[in-house]
Structure 1
């Protein structure tokens, strides 16, 4: 049977239905789930796999043109290589009849084990060339962020395959992080590490605009995610302790009272901010100090996921903080006219409210927004923020401006704001399948009425 993509009028009718008193919209949700499932299978998975499998040198090809032709030197980064392993592992569980997904996950695991793991010092290399040689330009240095994704992928692959070699490497990576990256004094993890695992300190030689030596929200939230994935297959007491530690740090320290994440912090968790400086200084350091709405809505989901994995049944504090983050993003970072979360904003000292500094809408933030808005609509169906209505509006935006129905997958940014993205790279070391595929599988299950946690 051929399933056709539902026309835009279907989405508009669904939007209209949200304003009516409590209709039974089960059928509409399941019809939309069919649309999302077809998209996930044919416009994401089938475009990337098996095409991206590098049969010559191992792992996955990284870079593709807008029409999905391999291009460039095909460097391989631990983050995107791991995300390909994770995606194929999850797809193999949903589509067990599609044997190539588990085969692809195994193929990617072998590259992580044989090429990306540093056999001399331990830990995962950040970047290697196509053949798996550490890139000289990166000096072989490592990050907590990169190693977190290695652990994340290995845990997911073990769950799908029961390959104990993958679990053993995940344990090894966790213990390497424990020895080198974990901060036993102030807790959390140092982000920047030398090849031998020693921490890169921030000193006077580091430019004021550089991230070097800071702790940060991005590595922290993905460590939270990785530890949650690992704990589900290896319920070790130390993994649990670190998972709880990261949840509390993110919820109570990295998230500020307004409801958004502080991007960078000192080793003892003091926020890096330039708000009291002249606007010229603020703008110069914008990369270190702004509001990232996509990270906020993503983190709301990741905190609730971690709380669930830990079995914290009455964790009202995390639930309240997660909702606050989403509500803040909707209040000040949401495009109520066209739908979608803006990329960045800033609370300037002498200006009322927030200023949207980047009104573009990147692909991953919208994908995470879909997942989190639908989650919130399940938890708070009668809330004044009308999460389900906004989910539908965001899906309509993505369907029109982000999903490439001609060549497949998602544009890097919404083409209403950035029409040049229509012919930009479809894949590169920072863009693979993880955000959009995770969003789709979670949304499909919720729309179908399946029991979904968190």
Structure 2
């Protein structure tokens, strides 16, 4: 009798506990759904609007590839030079959209871009891709005085994405060919990593002392840098996912560790430029005038920092097929540093650049501009951190504030597209061009796609099934 009573009490206790757990889980799910339903439709609509404003207007059906130059009202206006980075980013974007929407029209756009890249931008004499083509009467001719690892990285990035949706083996072969060209010409077997600025034939420029031929980026010829490094890593990650080659894996892991453990400082920001042996290039001890003149060579770039946090995690996932604890610590530190030092607490948004002027912990904001691509990368990184660290609620709160900032100050609700700078930091941006060779759509379209997938629970870096 006592035993029967005991089991009755036990049954009721367990049953009651399970009900509580069930209600609790349901409540948590409802809270999560409330968050998602509030913002997800807005972001989906914004992506649709952004895509429609870029395509098909940017498709150049006359010369091939894509038009880069549009004024603030999306009228074609400018020289319409064909830069490798611009063209390759369009291929990546169209390929990503083909996959995201499941719509073949974007694959056709990507194919159009691929044919131009393959037929017009590859250097048939020296190999590698030309950096820039300009109109010369009825044809296009190379106009750059150097080649760029950074540019060739984006070619790989676009080609790998295009192969992913088309299964066109010629595109994959061209990506492989570009990787091996970089291996032969740009990779440093002694100190590792890659030089960005190369002769047209691919040789290094270490022995060039005078800029008598007006070389592009001459001041950077002997250095390595974070920007080409992070985008080589990004490109190799994409290529490795469709071509798991042992040498490619070795180079991808090499870049991951260089960026994570050497280029990223202990505080959590990237050193912009470094000597061949990875000694940081710093103007801290120079005059204020000299530092200001060379700001672009040495500062804290908050946009690159939060972007790299994401790219490191993406590379580690491709390499190890699981979350890598060391990389997660560094990536989180980079995003946290961006929030702590470069975030506008009042209106939201990430400032462009700061500087540690002395050995204190104070990072002075030297350029308060809020550049469009930094805001896109910040949106992506904040939601990623909120899902990787769900107990730290401030990430999601900042993500929502960042979206509100973008929606209010960055998106042109009259003509479409994003301004190049937030209207709070520069009201004149309303009159600026909507597109040029350095302002294309991969940063913001990628961010919006990633955010949608995260909110829907199907993003590969946060989905536990991957």
- Residue in 2 aligned with 1:387? 395
Provide the C-alpha distance between the structure 2 equivalents of 1:69 and 1:374, rounded to a whole number of angstroms.
34
Deviation at 1:209, TM superposition (A): 9.3
Q: Secondary structure at the match of 2:164?
A: helix
Is 2:172 aligned against 1:167? yes
Q: Say which structure is richer in helix.
A: 2
Contact 2:450 2:459 in 1 (8 A): no
Work out which of the two has the higher radius of gyration on C-alpha atoms and give 1 or 2. 2
The alpha-carbon distance between structure 1 residues 291 and 74, as it changes in their structure 2 partners (threshold 3 A), is: same
- Residue in 2 aligned with 1:70? 76
Deviations 1:25-71 (A, max 9, x none): 313313422211111112x1111111111000100000001111111
Is 2:335 aligned against 1:329? no
2:102 aligned to which of 96, 99, 115? 96
The alpha-carbon distance between structure 1 residues 132 and 115, as it changes in their structure 2 partners (threshold 3 A), is: farther
- Where do 1:370-385 residues align within 5 Å? 370-383=379-392
Deviation at 1:211, TM superposition (A): 2.5
Contact 2:223 2:274 in 1 (8 A): yes
Contact 1:92 1:102 in 2 (8 A): yes
Provide the C-alpha distance between the structure 2 equivalents of 1:64 and 1:439, rounded to a whole number of angstroms.
22
Deviation at 1:284, TM superposition (A): 2.7
Deviation at 1:134, TM superposition (A): 3.4
- Residue in 2 aligned with 1:34? 41
- Where do 1:108-119 residues align within 5 Å? 108-119=113-124
Provide the C-alpha distance between the structure 2 equivalents of 1:441 and 1:166, rounded to a whole number of angstroms.
24
Contact 1:88 1:104 in 2 (8 A): yes
Is 2:207 aligned against 1:198? no
1:422 aligned to which of 430, 434, 437? 430
The alpha-carbon distance between structure 1 residues 242 and 132, as it changes in their structure 2 partners (threshold 3 A), is: farther
Q: Secondary structure at the match of 1:133?
A: strand
Is 2:433 aligned against 1:431? no
Q: Secondary structure at the match of 1:235?
A: coil
Deviation at 1:443, TM superposition (A): 0.2
Provide the C-alpha distance between the structure 1 equivalents of 2:141 and 2:157, rounded to a whole number of angstroms.
21
Deviations 1:342-400 (A, max 9, x none): 0000010277611100111000000000000000000111227x100000111101000
- Residue in 1 aligned with 2:405? 397
- Where do 1:320-359 residues align within 5 Å? 320-349=329-358, 353-359=362-368
Deviation at 1:117, TM superposition (A): 0.5
Provide the C-alpha distance between the structure 2 equivalents of 1:132 and 1:332, rounded to a whole number of angstroms.
48
Is 2:264 aligned against 1:251? no
Provide the C-alpha distance between the structure 2 equivalents of 1:73 and 1:283, rounded to a whole number of angstroms.
30
The two structures have a TM-score, normalised by structure 1, of 0.91
Q: Say which is worse superposed, 393-402 or 201-210, in terms of deviation.
A: 201-210
Deviations 1:165-199 (A, max 9, x none): 10010011011011001111111111001111111
Contact 1:402 1:411 in 2 (8 A): yes
Deviation at 1:212, TM superposition (A): 3.0
- Residue in 2 aligned with 1:134? 141
Provide the C-alpha distance between the structure 2 equivalents of 1:315 and 1:116, rounded to a whole number of angstroms.
37
Contact 1:243 1:306 in 2 (8 A): yes
Provide the C-alpha distance between the structure 2 equivalents of 1:254 and 1:23, rounded to a whole number of angstroms.
42
Provide the C-alpha distance between the structure 1 equivalents of 2:115 and 2:71, rounded to a whole number of angstroms.
26
- Residue in 2 aligned with 1:283? 292
2:448 aligned to which of 421, 437, 440? 440
Contact 1:52 1:60 in 2 (8 A): yes
Contact 2:198 2:221 in 1 (8 A): no
- Residue in 2 aligned with 1:267? 276
Provide the C-alpha distance between the structure 2 equivalents of 1:22 and 1:233, rounded to a whole number of angstroms.
35
Provide the C-alpha distance between the structure 1 equivalents of 2:386 and 2:168, rounded to a whole number of angstroms.
37
Deviation at 1:404, TM superposition (A): 0.9
Provide the C-alpha distance between the structure 2 equivalents of 1:252 and 1:212, rounded to a whole number of angstroms.
23
1:121 aligned to which of 126, 140, 152? 126
Query: Looking at both structures, which has the greater relative contact order when contacts are Cα pairs under 8 Å and sequence separation is at least 6?
Result: 1
Provide the C-alpha distance between the structure 2 equivalents of 1:444 and 1:424, rounded to a whole number of angstroms.
28
1:46 aligned to which of 24, 36, 52? 52
- CA RMSD, Structure 1 to Structure 2 (Å): 2.0
Deviations 1:312-353 (A, max 9, x none): 535211000000011111111110110011000001027761
Contact 2:301 2:352 in 1 (8 A): yes
Provide the C-alpha distance between the structure 2 equivalents of 1:371 and 1:449, rounded to a whole number of angstroms.
14
Provide the C-alpha distance between the structure 2 equivalents of 1:278 and 1:73, rounded to a whole number of angstroms.
38
Q: Unaligned regions of 5+ residues in structure 2, if any?
A: 1-27
Is 2:219 aligned against 1:214? no
Q: Secondary structure at the match of 2:229?
A: helix
Provide the C-alpha distance between the structure 1 equivalents of 2:357 and 2:339, rounded to a whole number of angstroms.
19
